[in-house]
Amino acid sequence: MSQPAFETESQNGEVALSSERPRYSQFALQHKFSLFDSSFYRFVLVGGSSFIVDASLYFLLIEFVFTGDTGAAQFARAIAMLVGLLLTWIGHRYYSFGKRKQLSAKAQFKWVALVAACSITVNFIGFSLMHTLLPQHTLASLFSLGFGVGLGLVVNWLGANYLTYRHVVA
C-alpha cells in the first residue's frame, strides 16, 4: 500500500508533493493572520492616523463651519470620511501593503471603491444610529464617531487584506 501524497506550498510559492500530512489546511495557510505581521501594524498606523485627521476635520466642521444647522453633523461626517478615505488609500497602497505585488492602480481602484463603499456604509449607519439614540452632547458625538469607525474598521481590514491589496502572483 502506497502512502498518500499531499501538495505542500513553500514560502516562495513552489508546490511540491510530500508524504507528510500538512498541519493546516491550504486555506488556513493562504489566509493566516498574525498579529506579528508588519502589514497589520502598518494598517493600524495608517488607519489611526487617518482617523485622527478624519475626527479632527469632523469636529472642526461642526464647531466652526456648520454651527447651528441640524443636518450639519451628517454632512460634516461625509466630508471628513472622504478626506480620511483618500489618506487611507494612499497610505495603504504605498506603506501598509507596499511590499506586496499589487494590482494596477486602475484595477485596484475598483476594489478600493467597493470596499470603501461597504466600509463607509457600515461606518455611517453605525454613526447615525448612535448619534440618533444618544443625547446631543460632545462626548456622545465622539462615542458615535468611534462606534461607526470601529464597525468600518472590521469591514475595511477584511476588504483591504483579502481583496484590495491582496498579493498578486506574477
Residue-wise pLDDT tens digits, 92-151: 888 988 888 888 878 887 888 899 899 889 999 999 999 899 887 778 888 998 999 889
Cell representation of residue 98: 507596499
Percent over 90 (pLDDT), the chain: 19
CA atoms of 52 and 47, how far apart (whole Å): 9
Handedness of CA 63, 66, 68, 74 (dihedral sign): negative
pLDDT at 13 over 60: no
Question: Mean per-residue pLDDT for 153-157?
Answer: 85
What's residue 23's pLDDT? 56
Cα dist from 113 to 20, 40, 106, 154, 168, whole Å: 43, 21, 11, 16, 19
What's residue 140's pLDDT? 85
